Chain A
Amino acid sequence: MGRIVIDPVTRIEGHLKVEVVVDGGQVKEARCSGMLFRGFEKILEGRDPRDAQIITERICGVCNHCHTTASALCLDSAFGIADKIPHNGRVIRNLLLGFHQVQDHILHFYHLAALDYVDVTKVADYEGDDRVLNSVKAFLQRGELSPFVPRYEGDYRLTPALNRELVAHYVKALEVRRKGHEAVAILGGKVPHACAITPGGATETVTVDKMASLLWRAKELRQFVEDCYLPDVIKVAEAYSDYFEIGRGCGRYLSYGAFDLDGSNPDYVSRERFFKQGTTTTDLVYEPLDLSAITEFVKYSWYEDDTTGRHPFQGETRPNPMKEGAYSWLKAPRYKGQVYEVGPLARVAVAYARGDQQVKELVDQLLGHFKASKEALFSVLGRHASRAICALLIARQLEKWVLELKPGEPAYVDFQVPEEAEGVGIVDAARGALGHWVVIKDRKIARYQCVVPTTWNGSPKDDMGNPGPIEQALIGTKVRDEKNPFEVVRIVRSFDPCIACAVHLLDHKGRELRRFIIA
């Protein structure tokens, strides 16, 4: 029996350690641990509620704009203006979130995930006149190969030609995703941590020149997703098709939906959204979303047992690092008491179950290409493909949404901070369902809780003993080479974990805490 420890897991956001126990070449146990604690919710208590949005977007510099959106929605709802955001405010929020998510999906595939599949060093054999590839070749010939080496060695399967193409697209994608961020800044001021989304709408004034400048960036992003991103995911999948059967996970999926198409309904659960709110399973039967069915369990987390099984509005966080049997600082959020995966795969599965024609076409085409059944979707490659499909769906909307802007009309509505209120903001971030809950007393934040995508996906076992989605995806996986555990990192990265988010509350390894205290 072998223990494989990967610390740090790189090419993700944040500090993650993964530990698996391998027996007979197969993963028997899996544990994810975040390695950083900052304490955002403690920091928020007692502050002016309006500041929550400026602080919480800084939970994560990768998904910052998703937090901006969730927090603005949460404060709108607490301030009683969820149905009063002006048309331009709603469209600006959609555009910023849309540009952000397309560039984020591109970043994840090319810059975070691809190096598990693409062998940069193969470009050393290149004979040709492409400037980018020659520049990579010259880099390789100089012999200082970081940040591309060291790495796991062995299972790189792409042909030399495909390796070169993907490396060229890795470089091209750096530029394309930067332009996605430029588009966010055009209406958001700057990014990361855009300043121009605020409770009440947006502070930017819509002008025709900004619309023009957004349009060509939207077009460039769409073309890159159409011509490179989705085709590249398919090419990688062809070479690694066994990963349609690896990393299946828990088989239940939850989406909060994203991109408000109509702002007149103050209820975010039933509001018309481009990505739909709801849940489904591998049977692809649609179920509507019920926010009251969310509870967080802590039997295997370092928190007092009497805080277990609570809804985020009642959520409490009393650490107990000495707790017997616990092994994570993440709580275990569950929906109707069951383990649910969130993220692009969940968005696609929910949309498919709901009968969304665009999604059905894209998914059926993909599965048809691989002559695969729907089961294949629930896998490492299914997650990558779903992410590319989400990017394509959003990219196809961006130009339309730009044209919905109305120059000269307001984007912001004034409001009063109430003496006492509760609010909730939900939205599907790039990485999955993101919820912010606030309780206001004396015009100050009395309680602020975030339940974020990686808390769902990276959660430990719940009180019933069911492992979290990433753990379930790892357990049972065959690891061919324990020194180069490609399978483990490929599964973990397919979830696109974001640890700053997941451990915004508390995060370090309790056993080590004990060791430090005793020592």
Chain B
Amino acid sequence: MSQVKEVPVLWIQGATCTGCSVSMLNVVAPSIKDLLLEEVLPGTHLNLRFQATIMAGAGEPVIEVLEDTKQRKSKEYVLVVEGAIPTAEGGIYCLLGERGQKEVPFKDWVVELGKEALAVLALGTCASFGGIPASKPNPTKAKGVMEVFKEEGVRTPVVNIPGCPPHPDWFVGTVVRILLLGLPGPEDLDEWLRPKDFYGGLIHENCPRRAYFDEGKFAKSFGEPGCLYELGCKGPITHADCFLRKWNGGVNWCIDAGMGCQGCTQPEFPDLFGPFYEKVTDRDLPKIGESKR
């Protein structure tokens, strides 16, 4: 059994709703049991050293785990960041633990642990792009990891795994990819640092209701057949593979449930996609337009 390789993982949460964590608990294959206890790949176990939603410990002892891993496992551990990073007034709007009886801003943890990490996975739209906490008027000046790293001069590689929440397969798939093939290179990521494996396709181009769009048949009310474009579907400008993968064990996804895509994997989410029930404008659809109607 000693031949099992332990890959240390620190999973820290900032301005989050914990929905990314809950979504990861919904992983089907490998099961969450495999991920926690057994092997994510033959011979490799994810040593989840810090994950506040499920870990047994609390308080000072778990804060020591962060410090200890940073020092002893430098450039060996993967840092998972869930949630946006409030940066206003030094980051005091999100605090995690105490150091010398003084509370520590989440932003400091992201920078310090980020510098020493092998790689950072920004999990969810908040950690990737700021997401809902960063939407207007962005009361806490919340930002995503790559923006904070740029400002703070941290050069550790970042992979964004956005989605509100992200699909558990996107996370597990990215981890497995890193373990099997190494860190994704620039050719493997899109302009928003998302793995092309999962975010390469456009929802609209792969939509089961696409034929309705091409024929100009648009649903006017929910529950009707027809393209959901007029009801606000953001599929024409959203990249993800939900159409293929579907959600929660493959039972459904937004468009099959009769609701348009809400564009939750995009950096534009939510501000540039609101009002959600209004159609995206023509200029977003340079090639297809409404001329056929």
Q: Residues on A close to B: CB < 8 A?
A: 5-11, 13-15, 17, 35-40, 42-43, 47-48, 50-51, 54-55, 58-62, 64, 107, 111-112, 115, 120, 132, 135-136, 138-139, 141-142, 144, 146-152, 171, 174-175, 177-179, 181-182, 184-193, 195-196, 198, 200-205, 213, 410-412, 414, 489, 500, 507-509, 512-513, 515-517
Contacts and interface: CB of A to CB of B under 8 A. Distances in A.
Given A38-B139, A39-B139, A51 B277 contact: yes
A150 B62 CA distance: 7
B104 to A, nearest CB: 9
A414 B277 CA distance: 13
A62 B38 contact: no
A285 B207 CA distance: 56
Given A55-B135, A61-B16, 4 more contacts: A8-B62, A15-B94, A48-B274, A61-B21
Given A38-B139, A50-B277, A190-B253, A11 B54 contact: yes
Q: Which 4 pairs show the lowest CB-CB distances between chains A and B?
A: A61-B19, A189-B257, A39-B139, A48-B275
B164 interface: yes
Contacts of A489: 58
A174 B259 CA distance: 29
Given A37-B94, A192-B23, A64 B254 contact: no
A218 to B, nearest CB: 14
A189 B247 contact: yes
B18 A61 contact: yes
Given A37-B140, A43-B139, A178-B28, A513 B19 contact: no
B177 interface: no
Residue from A35, A107, A146, A411 whose CB has the most chain B CB atoms within 10 Å: A146
Contact of B135 (A43, A193, A196, A202): A43
Contacts of B52: 8, 10-11
Contacts of A412: 221-223
B78 interface: no
Contact of A174 (B19, B23, B31, B139): B31
A147 B54 contact: yes
B149 to A, nearest CB: 21
B103 A512 contact: yes
A48 B277 contact: yes
Interface in B174-231: 221-223
A515 B100 CA distance: 14
Contacts of B89: 513, 516-517
23 contacts: A7-B103, A8-B52, A17-B103, A35-B96, A37-B86, A39-B137, A43-B139, A47-B275, A48-B275, A48-B276, A48-B278, A58-B164, A59-B17, A61-B21, A112-B53, A138-B37, A141-B1, A146-B48, A147-B54, A174-B33, A178-B32, A512-B95, A517-B89
Interface string B252-269: 111011110010100000
B223 A203 contact: yes
B17 A60 contact: yes
Residue from B63, B97, B251 whose CB has the most chain A CB atoms within 10 Å: B251
Contact of B259 (A42, A115, A189): A189
Contact of B136 (A43, A414, A507): A43
Contacts of B133: 38-39
A204 B92 contact: no
Contacts of A410: 223
A302 B25 CA distance: 36
Contact of A43 (B22, B53, B103, B137): B137
A384 B228 CA distance: 44
Contact of B275 (A10, A51, A141): A51
A135 B33 contact: yes
Interface string B140-152: 1010000000000
Nearest to A213: B251
Interface of B: 1-2, 4, 6, 13-23, 25-26, 28, 31-33, 36-38, 45, 47-65, 86, 89-90, 92-98, 102-103, 132-133, 135-137, 139-140, 142, 164-165, 221-223, 242, 247-249, 251-254, 256-259, 262, 264, 270, 274-278
A212 to B, nearest CB: 12
Given A35-B94, A42-B137, A62-B22, A150 B57 contact: yes
Nearest to B14: A36
B16 A204 contact: no
B139 to A, nearest CB: 3
Given A38-B142, A151-B57, A192 B274 contact: no
Nearest to B256: A189
Nearest to B11: A147
Contacts, number: 290
Residue from B55, B97, B221 whose CB has the most chain A CB atoms within 10 Å: B55
Contacts of B14: 36
A217 to B, nearest CB: 9
A51 B17 contact: no
A6 B59 CA distance: 4
Contact of A195 (B59, B93, B96, B257): B257
Nearest to B82: A61
Contacts of B242: 190
A189 B247 CA distance: 8
Contact of B56 (A40, A150, A191): A150
Contacts of B13: 15
A8 B248 contact: no
B276 to A, nearest CB: 5
Contacts of B38: 135, 138-139
A188 B92 CA distance: 36
Nearest to B89: A516
A179 to B, nearest CB: 8
B247 A190 contact: yes
A60 B15 CA distance: 11
A410 B248 CA distance: 25
A195 to B, nearest CB: 4
Contact of B96 (A15, A50, A146, A205): A15
Contacts of B2: 142
Given A146-B47, A414-B221, A138 B262 contact: no
Contacts of A51: 270, 274-277
A178 B249 contact: yes
B44 to A, nearest CB: 12
A308 B194 CA distance: 47
Given A196-B254, A203-B258, A509-B103, A147 B132 contact: no
A314 B282 CA distance: 41
Contacts of B276: 48, 50-51, 54
Contact of A55 (B103, B132, B222, B252): B132
Contacts of A14: 18
Given A36-B93, A61-B23, A508-B95, A142 B54 contact: no
A50 B277 CA distance: 7
Nearest to A485: B59
